[in-house]
Structure 1
Amino acid sequence: METDNAVSAFSALAQETRLSTLKLLVRAGPNGMAAGAIANALGLAAPTLSFHLKELERAELIHARKDGRSIIYAADYGGLRDLIEFLLADCCGGDKRLCGPYIIKETCP
């Protein structure tokens, strides 16, 4: 991950609603959640949520897919992994015993 991509991701996460949204989607797993269910869970109006989802999607932290008339949003585990790896790239002077590998599984058990 390049520094400008990391800055974009951190900028997206530096807002309480977006951070809460991402945490909700991480908990939901790879199947994600419909936009309406996200709005209900977080107590947000649809236009407000839409704005925040677009910011997270632009930062490559979530992705969307169409399912009939619904749009399903899910955490982008590859994007999250890239951000974590960016943070840990120079961890502890390269001593993997101190920071170890940080792995995000593509699918939940």
Structure 2
Amino acid sequence: MSKISKRLTVRMPTAAEDKAITAAAKSDLDAQPLTPKQLNAMVPIRALRGRPKSENKKLLVSVRYSPEVVAYFKSTGEGWQSRMDGVLRQYVARHLRST
């Protein structure tokens, strides 16, 4: 039984074939090569994924609050952590002014 290679081989075009392919691509008005300006404007898709970076970076900390405090803020609905942060910011601002 003969062994047949299952590995695909890639054959690169000759210089003449490459020239013909390039000429055909350039003649297609819908498939023009990108300009240097367009190439420089490209960004990796990885950079576009996820939530935009916040200008106001916050620190991740582990804090323990009274159950009634957490229950109150949770009862105010979605965004309760941001509201809690707002209350603490007001407290800090008020106490910084008084010192």
Under a length normalisation based on structure 1, what TM-score does the superposition of the two structures give?
0.19
Q: Which has the larger radius of gyration?
A: 2
Greater RCO (Cα-Cα under 8 Å, separation 6 or more): 1
Between Structure 1 and Structure 2, the one with more strand by share is 1
More helix by share: 1
- TM-score, normalised relative to structure 2: 0.20
